[in-house]
Each structure stands twice: as structure tokens, then as C-alpha cells.
Amino acid sequence: MAERPEHSKGGVYSRKGEEFDRDTRYIATRVKRTVDDGEDAVPVEPDRYRLIAARACPWANRTIIVRRLLGLEDAISLGLPGPTHDADSWTFDLDPGEVDPVLGIHRLKDAYLKRDPHYSRGITVPALVDVTTGAVVTNDYAQMTLDFSTEWTEHHRPGAPDLYPEGLREEIDEVMARIYHDVNNGVYRCGFAGSQEAYEAAYLRLFEALDWLEDRLTLQRYLVGDSITEADVRLFTTLVRFDAVYHGHFKCNRSKLTEMPVLWAYARDLFQTPGFGDTIDFEQIKRHYYLVHTDLNPNQIVPKGPDPVAWLSPHHREELDGSPFGEGTPPGQVRNGERSPNPVELA
């Protein structure tokens, strides 16, 4: 089958031989504390960059969580596109006049074209935009959060956790690699499979990985070490969307998250930790997937359930060794203007 580019919420993908294939050719410019001559990087500078990150997108959700956990709100501003987009661009539907108040644009695509007038790849979130030029600096979401942890340390809040501790990086990287290939991207490989064979291969690989995670987390509170790391952030954004979207919409239906007792308790533990659940908007998540993916849901019917209040039920994970922030402290209240319009609350 010929390669056919299409838009997915993580960017552009293609089907090669009926198997989902994500385009990972991101703008790789980094934001670093020290920039060497000739390096594709720009300097860390507070108030210079604006993070554009839709709540609906799991890849963007990571950056919102990490920014909040580290207390980078004063250094990096946040722009929030609406939950839906067309084939052309994410848009700032939620802002007054549907224009981002800092960048002054309606379409995120305009910031990509400022960077490269001939830019032809996916208009993806998250994107870090240079406010002084209006141009995208990078959309490399995986490197972006690692740089938030390692290059922006002078601007972290007091008590910020070390999400990428040097002594654990090799293990964190190994765990994150499997989570990305088999879980984060695995649900998409199920949902956008172009053949029964491709779907079943992706399905088996996904649930083998979830079973591995269930075993790994039975006796330890977090994926690596005794406190939250980048690995937990990356797994959480898929788990929190699992029952609301991936189980039905992407046909990942061997088990619901609520039927995997260890992972369900682990996910609730994170959800109830400041910096995680307070970034989540289930209504925006569902509207994105069920309205944008018209090839999977042509009638654009958005399901009413599941009831998100279950995320607030007791998890008992605090009985295991470890604490979320190690020797640090939780972040404070969510900033005005950054609160989810649809928070999960007990009746």
C-alpha cells in the first residue's frame, strides 16, 4: 500500500503496509543553559518562550504536568488551544476572539510558518514558541520535558522534584523506551491499524506491556526509584485516557484500566497528586478524539461516560515505600487562567 500521510493528534502519521507509523521528524532545536557555537540551540531565558499545549493531547499534557511540578510558570507562559483541530492547524478557540493573547494568532500554524515559510510537516502540540519572534523553537516533546528538568534548574521552584535524577537515568530511559513504543504509541498502533493483522500485533504488544507494568508496580509505588520521575509522567498521560478513549475508540478492549487493579491504583495515586489530575480535562479529551477522528467515529458522537469521580477514590498506594516528591514539596495552587474548566470533583 502506498504511503498515505494523515493527521493524528500526535502529529502526522502514515500507513506503511497497513501498520501505523508516526512521523517523528520534529524540530530539534533545544533550549539550553549554555549554547555552544554552531549548536542547534537557543539560550534559557525566562519570559522569552511560550508553551503551546492542548489539554486534550497526551504528548502536550506531559509538558503541562512537568512545567507545573517544577514550578516553571513564572519562566514559561502557557497557551492552551481548544480540544479540536482541522487538517490545517490547532487553533486558539478558547481565548477571547479565538486569538492567543500573547502571540496574537488564531492558528498555531502561523508560528510554524514564522520558523519556516515552507514548513510541511505536522502542526503539533506541544510547541515552544519564541515570543520575541513569534516562531516555533521546537516541537520535540520528548526532549522538551527533559530540558525543563535539566536546563531550566535555575528557574525551578523551591522544593521542586528531580524528575530525571542522574543516577537513575539509564533505568528511566529503558523504562520510558518500552512505555513509548508499546503503550504511548501502542494505543495509536491499535486505533489506526490498517489491517486485522497489524491491529492484533499491536494489541498483543500493548497488553503484554501493561501486564509487565502491572507486575513492576505491585511492590513499588513508582516506576523507577522512590519518587515520581519523568517515566511516571509519560505513562500517566496514556493511562488517564485509557477508559475514556482508548478502550473503545482505539479498540484496546482486552481490559479496562479499572480492571487492572495495580495500574488503576497507581494511576489514581498520580491523579490525586498535585500537578497531575489538576491538569486533566476529560471533556476536552473526549471531544478531541471523538470529534477529530471522523474516520473512526464518522457520526462524531461523544460518549457521556465513564464517570470521572472514580479517579478520586482511595488507592492505598501510600502504604508502599516512597513519596511523590522525595525530599521536595508539592506545587502550590494552579495559577489563575490555567485551571481546567471541567475539574473532577466529588459531588
Angle among Cα 224, 324, 330 to the nearest 5 degrees reads 140
Helices 230-241, 261-271: inter-axial angle, 10-degree rounding: 110
- Active-site residue 57, yes or no? yes
- Active-site residue 26, yes or no? no
Q: Which residues of 25-35 are buried (b: 16+ CB within 10 A; e: fewer)?
A: ebbebbbbeee
Catalytic residue among 164, 188, 199, 290: 188
Measured distance CA(55)–CA(283) in Å, rounded = 10
Consult the annotation and say whether 152 binds a ligand: no
Q: Which residues of 137-173 are buried (b: 16+ CB within 10 A; e: fewer)?
A: bbbbbbebbbbbbebbeebbbeebbbbbbeebeeebe
Residue 12: beta bridge partners?
7
CB atoms within 10 A of CB 206: 23
Catalytic residue among 26, 49, 57, 289: 57
Task: Please give the positions annotated as active site.
Answer: 57, 188
In the annotated binding site for glutathione, the residues are: 90
In the annotated binding site, the residues are: 90
